[in-house]
Amino acid sequence: MPAQTSAIKVSAGTTPGNFAGDRLKTLIERIERLEEEKAGLAEDVRDVFAEAKSAGFDVKVMRQVIRLRKIDGNERAEQEEILELYKAALGML
């Protein structure tokens, strides 16, 4: 069995320079575009939080609410029960 000299497996008649290189470049460019979009979206989110803050909303609490909304209702209820139990044990109620 011949030793493979490259980490890229290419089929007969295909060279890394024309197929694998083009495929790699395409993948890298897609990732770069997505990273740019992600940065743009992050900026949009910051703008919305700034708008909320200027309207008098507590941004820190808004972030907590958003985090809670991502959690399944049953799991959230269980976490809240445990939190109340811990707070009671520490005399925080």
Taking only the tens place, the pLDDT of each residue in 22-33 is: 999 999 999 999
- Is pLDDT at 1 greater than 70 in this prediction? no
Does a structural domain hold residue 31? yes
Instruction: Choose among 68, 67, 50, 70: nearest CA to 59.
Output: 50
> In whole angstroms, what is the distance from residue 73 CA to residue 82 CA?
14
Per-chain mean pLDDT for the chain:
88
Q: Do residues 69 and 56 make contact, with C-beta atoms less than 8 angstroms apart? A: no
Domain check: are 43 and 68 in the same one? no
pLDDT of residue 93: 86
Q: How many residues are given for the chain?
A: 93
Domain check: are 67 and 52 in the same one? no
Give the contacts of 59 (CB within 8 A, at least 6 positions apart).
49, 52, 53
Does a structural domain hold residue 83? yes
Does a structural domain hold residue 3? no
- Is pLDDT at 4 greater than 60 in this prediction? no
The pTM (predicted TM-score) of the whole model is 0.65
Each residue of 35-63: pLDDT tens digit?
999 999 999 999 999 999 999 999 999 99
